[in-house]
Structure 1
């Protein structure tokens, strides 16, 4: 067996029926010209014949002292692919709405800890001829960035490439081994950074949190999203042209991600106003950022930093709201840019401590929220991608809702689009799909404010 890292173990320890701890993705594909009615069936038959599984996809919690443990991995030598990969079809009329209803139910179910912690579904029956893939992997195995990169590596920009690749068979990218001296130096440096966190924590906190005005947790207002949740989920998804975000970016000098956050802020403001639940003080978003080096992108486990951003939802004017968001993000990024990676991870752990505290029974209902929502922008493909000749039409990441964090927004770039995936507690976030309309309205408001 292999010991589970403390960070990855946290996702296992914190999981319950109300809090499934997997990250997922929904991908929509347009079959190639001339594809017959058995196109998806033939792909399924090809995939299930492959019995080559990489170690990450053979892992499940091992048994210690007679029970399932959250501290050590066991590895299956014989993975039951017929269990992990399912083929299903939508009921008529096969609308995207029907697909999202199926995905909502799949996303709310727990992964079986007696088996490797991942599942995938090939879904056909959409009325427009497209098919979908929904896949989920436990967060203890892969973070969202690593899962997305594996999904992209299973595809190709060549529409004529008919090799069928799947994430669980892909070997890690080869990289040049580092000299022993360099490796030793890295270990010493890392240990030094960790040790330095103890005696320097006070000065680090003062410099980062006071002098540089880093956005602090537990100063966010209480909203309808910051409540205890149930286990059922609702998923919503939509794509927007990247050119629209770049138009606002070029007109204002903000970043594309600033524009995304401003769009989300406008949508949240409208949604909360619709429910007569908009607080007087601004919402705060937790924005994850990857701290991996390039050669570490295919590694398992988690290495994610976090920034807290003022969403300025108390500002009515969309242009001024964007300016406030851009200022908040710039100030917070500056703090992280000046820290070694180990200290950046430690500071991120402090800023995102509310995620772990949300797993403590009663915390979400009795304490102020550390932040109101997680909004994550995951790197995706910058060119059109294909899988067995089928074009990737939509690539919607779907993440985790928690007690006190009933709504999550995750997006990724997909060629000329930004694809948004929304996940909400089915009980606590009513009419989740209405947020899609508010997102469109908020982006249009930004365009009008810029004279576009």
Structure 2
């Protein structure tokens, strides 16, 4: 029996029919040259032949699943691969619209807790000589950064490589992220680790005092619970709607260079401009600026290897960012966002992973309280929207000759947080995935057009 860290078990404890707690990814592939009409079906059958499943993908909540299973894992020694690896077809004409509708439905269904908490769907019938795959895995098993690393590390940069294996049975590589393997000793001294843990716990009090002092005295961070109430901060259902699109990275970099900011600042400014106009169109823009919760990965940038230990679980901190949606000037919004992110990062300087995780959990308290019926309507939101940027592979990748055209992340709307925006880079593109509550966020697809308008406005103002 493996005991879960509290950062993992909280995703199982918070899950309900209205609150699925899994992350996902939609990948588009171009059929290789000479592929016949049976290619996708054969691709699916070959996946079912790979019965060597890594331990992470055999892990399921220990029975009884809703009691002890919230705190401990067991291994499934009789895994039914045909249940987890599925084949679906799109209705004609197989446009991206039909693909996103199918993905939205798949993402809204709960994972079966009596089985390992993951599913993988191969999707045929997509126009343009393409097929797609949709994967989902419970957040208790992997955070978004780890899920993306695992998926992309199983692909190849060589279109002639026919030995690519799926994420649950991978030929693990790390160089797709520009990293190299290390031969350093990975052993850990348990006494040193225990001593470090004790030091971290003792330091939590002073770290918390530092955050409060920085925020109040120097106003160097956006405080939790200062966000205005918006239409996004309402009760949600379990049904999902998903929208996705990519933008050239060079467009964002050019704006960042002109403004003296980062590409991530420009991405947040794109979202700020789009959300401002979206709420204006609905007559629902608050006078106070929206606040975004921006997760930051606490995993090392150069892991020695993609192992079960390095991939499993969650390692995230949180920065609250002023989106300046009360400012009609695109350049002014970007400047405010840049300053807000810079100050938020400075608050955490010198803290350990444990201290950052513990303090980052403070703004997440309303997400737990929100599971109590009626509490979302009476408690103030700690923030208005989650916006994540997950670094992705820099080069074109292939799955046994099929070129991956795009990869779009799907994440988790929470009770009182009806919209989640997650982006990832792939090659020369920044891929946006917008996941929203189907009932609470109307016309989610419209946000894609508003993101383009927002980027155009930034270009006009700064380049």
Specify whether residues 39 and 221 from structure 1 end up closer, same or farther in structure 2 by C-alpha distance, changes over 3 A only.
same
- Give the CA RMSD over aligned residues: 1.8
1:210 matched to which residue of 2? Answer: 216
Q: Structure 1 stretch 371-380 or stretch 47-56: which is displaced more?
A: 47-56
Q: Distance in 2 between matches of 1:143 and 1:372?
A: 21
Q: Distance in 2 between matches of 1:224 and 1:66?
A: 32
Q: Distance in 1 between matches of 2:238 and 2:188?
A: 48
Question: Retained in 1: the 8 A contact 2:225–2:383?
Answer: yes
> Are 1:280 and 2:292 an aligned pair?
no
Q: Distance in 2 between matches of 1:66 and 1:393?
A: 40
> For 1:259-282, what per-residue CA distance to the aligned partner results, in whole angstroms no more than 9, with x for missing partners?
000000000001000100000010
1:405 matched to which residue of 2? Answer: 417
- The structure 1 residue matched to 2:319, chosen from 264, 287, 307, is 307
- The structure 1 residue matched to 2:234, chosen from 227, 230, 234, is 227
Alignment of 1:27-426 (within 5 A): 27-64=27-64, 69-170=69-170, 176-178=184-186, 181=189, 183-198=190-205, 200=206, 203-213=209-219, 214-293=221-300, 294-295=302-303, 298-426=310-438
> For 1:289-342, what per-residue CA distance to the aligned partner results, in whole angstroms no more than 9, with x for missing partners?
000123376420001001000000000010111011101011111111232322
Question: Matched residue pairs, number?
Answer: 449
> Are 1:446 and 2:458 an aligned pair?
yes
Question: Retained in 1: the 8 A contact 2:30–2:131?
Answer: yes
Question: Retained in 2: the 8 A contact 1:307–1:351?
Answer: no
- Classify the secondary structure of the residue corresponding to 1:69: helix
2:178 matched to which residue of 1? Answer: none
Gapped regions of structure 2 (runs ≥ 5): 174-180
Specify whether residues 67 and 207 from structure 1 end up closer, same or farther in structure 2 by C-alpha distance, changes over 3 A only.
closer
What is the CA-CA distance between 1:141 and the residue it aligns to? 0.4
Specify whether residues 92 and 311 from structure 1 end up closer, same or farther in structure 2 by C-alpha distance, changes over 3 A only.
same
Q: Distance in 2 between matches of 1:189 and 1:141?
A: 25
Q: Distance in 2 between matches of 1:179 and 1:91?
A: 52
The TM-score normalised by the length of structure 1 is 0.95
Q: Distance in 1 between matches of 2:428 and 2:207?
A: 43
Question: Retained in 2: the 8 A contact 1:306–1:352?
Answer: no
What is the CA-CA distance between 1:345 and the residue it aligns to? 1.7
Q: Distance in 2 between matches of 1:450 and 1:271?
A: 22
Q: Structure 1 stretch 159-168 or stretch 103-112: which is displaced more?
A: 159-168
2:177 matched to which residue of 1? Answer: none
Gapped regions of structure 1 (runs ≥ 5): none
What is the CA-CA distance between 1:209 and the residue it aligns to? 2.7
